[in-house]
Homo-oligomer: A and B are copies of this chain.
Amino acid sequence: MLKSEQNEFITRTGPDTPMGNLFRCYWIPALLASELSEPDCPPVRVKILSERLLAFRDSEGRLGLIDEFCAHRGVSLWFGRNEECGLRCPYHGWKYDVNGQCVDVPSEAVESGYARKIKLKSYPLVERGGILWTYMGPADRQPELPEFEFAIVPDSQRFVSKRLQETNWLQAMEGGIDSSHSSWLHRGDFGHDPLLKGAGGNKYNFNDLAPVFEVVESPGGLFIGARRKAENDNYYWRITPWVMPSYTAVPPRGDHPMHGHFWIPIDDENCWVWSYDYHPSRDLTHAERQAMTDGLGIHVKYIPGSFMPLANKHNNYMMDRVAQREGRYFSGIEGVAMQDASLQESMGAICDRTKENLVGTDNGIIMARHRLMRAAKQLAEKGTLPPGVDPQHQRIRSAALLLPKDAPFQDGAKEALVAVLGQPQVTV
């Protein structure tokens, strides 16, 4: 449970908010690389952290993320012509380069130097792992590029998608680091989703519905361990790493690709849910890639031409009471992603954390909140760089393994939780 002012503090990420400043310490996903696929392609409107921006790729292939609106009279540059190394406003022809620098004001004499004095807000935009990442903080604190494993394996080993969720980022992320709900909400899917079923570990999920949680701090965030009863003197451990501010990795299931999420605030009442799948030691198969494209696993089916899920709050997520009664989908909603999204959106745009009743299985959530608030305060008060900025903090993995009952998971799984390029995941 949070106090009302804590709930405000932790959910607001616009300019000049403490949590907004925290997010502005990191490289964060802004667009899919496929959204800006070639030089001079159409620009794309991007709203992140409550800022309205425009992404484009210029004639030389350079990427830019600039203020959406022309400095002259404020029209949207989305209507602009992307040509000859710049985006030209269609109203009066003012032209900007990928850094937001105005390079032409046709009505003013070149000698006046007027254009040079005009510069739009801009942020760096770099491609890595099928994603265009941006960094929206002060230039002198720009960190090294992200090194999450999924982003640096070869493209043939990875699939990335994003979807719109109409809630604050935090309740989306809290759902993601709370693995205890999978035994309930997603139980039907482990039996039939081709990207989830058949793993040896699934039986432990079904057999023990009261997992015990142990959470420890990692340099970049947390390791959230959930143990369930297994044969002999073992526990079945599923370990979910969380890296600040909002990256997580779901524990693997057999040889299925590993997956996880990033949650990025659009504004305080909407967020992007980024979903990746990758296999650390082999290419994705054609069947796997097709299943992901079709919205299976943690991905979704879309309204064509958009990133809005086809099943959404306006159609009650295509609730199927027969499938619910028969146990195919525990909540009546199809697919892991929309099962999460439907419940999280049902909490309201910003869920009221003053009314919660948290229990032991919520320890990961509780510790993540505290770590976020602590880091945001230390950043505000002392300028302390928060955990998770250092790429070293990002070289982690999830794991699913059997350990003797008396072995602390952070020791027994120590090596399994380190990302080593090319090495297979540790999984049951």
Q: With A75-B343, A79-B331 known to touch, is A361 a contact of B107 (CB < 8 Å)? A: yes
Question: A181 and B91: CB pair below 8 A?
Answer: yes
Which one of A57-65, A149-157, A234-242, A345-353 is at the interface?
Answer: A345-353
Q: With A79-B331, A333-B79, A342-B79 known to touch, is A347 a contact of B73 (CB < 8 Å)? A: yes
Name the one of B108, B183, B343 contacting A76, with C-beta atoms under 8 angstroms.
Answer: B343
Question: B92 and A346: CB pair below 8 A?
Answer: no
Question: A180 and B73: CB pair below 8 A?
Answer: no
Question: A361 and B79: CB pair below 8 A?
Answer: no
Question: A108 and B347: CB pair below 8 A?
Answer: no
- Give the residues from 84 to 105 in chain A that come closer than 8 angstroms, CB to CB, to chain B: 90-93, 105
- Give the residues from 323 to 370 in chain A that come closer than 8 angstroms, CB to CB, to chain B: 324-325, 330-333, 339, 342-344, 346-348, 351-352, 355-362
Question: A79 and B355: CB pair below 8 A?
Answer: no
Indicate if A81 sits at the interface (CB-CB under 8 A). Answer: yes
Q: Which residues of chain B are near A357, meaning CB under 8 Å?
A: 71-72, 118
Question: B184 and A351: CB pair below 8 A?
Answer: no
Name 9 interchain pairs, CB-CB below 8 A, sorted by A.
A42-B321, A74-B356, A78-B346, A90-B185, A91-B343, A92-B181, A92-B361, A106-B209, A107-B180
Q: In the bound complex, how far is the Cα of B72 from the Cα of A118, in angstroms?
A: 52
Q: With A90-B185, A90-B343, A344-B75 known to touch, is A360 a contact of B180 (CB < 8 Å)? A: no
Indicate if A114 sits at the interface (CB-CB under 8 A). Answer: yes
Q: With A91-B343, A107-B211 known to touch, is A356 a contact of B73 (CB < 8 Å)? A: yes
Q: How many residues of A contact B (CB 8 A)?
A: 57
Indicate if A407 sits at the interface (CB-CB under 8 A). Answer: no
Write the nearest CB–CB distance from A179 to chain B, whole angstroms: 11
Write the nearest CB–CB distance from A398 to chain B, whole angstroms: 20
Write the nearest CB–CB distance from A190 to chain B, whole angstroms: 15
The 9 A-B residue pairs with the shortest CB-CB distance, nearest first, are A90-B331, A76-B346, A75-B343, A93-B184, A79-B331, A107-B361, A74-B347, A42-B321, A71-B357
Q: Which residues of chain B are near A352, meaning CB under 8 Å?
A: 74
The residue in chain B whose Cβ has the minimal distance to the Cβ of A89 is B184
Indicate if A210 sits at the interface (CB-CB under 8 A). Answer: yes
Q: With A330-B81, A357-B118 known to touch, is A106 a contact of B72 (CB < 8 Å)? A: no
Q: Which residues of chain B are near A333, meaning CB under 8 Å?
A: 79
Question: A90 and B346: CB pair below 8 A?
Answer: no
Q: Which residues of chain B are near A91, meaning CB under 8 Å?
A: 181, 184-185, 343
Question: B92 and A324: CB pair below 8 A?
Answer: no
Q: In the bound complex, how far is the Cα of B295 from the Cα of A350, in angstroms?
A: 40
Question: A72 and B356: CB pair below 8 A?
Answer: yes
Q: Which residues of chain B are near A114, meaning CB under 8 Å?
A: 359
Name the one of B81, B109, B319 contacting A324, with C-beta atoms under 8 angstroms.
Answer: B81
The residue in chain B whose Cβ has the minimal distance to the Cβ of A174 is B73
Write the nearest CB–CB distance from A169 to chain B, whole angstroms: 16
Question: B79 and A346: CB pair below 8 A?
Answer: yes
The residue in chain B whose Cβ has the minimal distance to the Cβ of A213 is B107
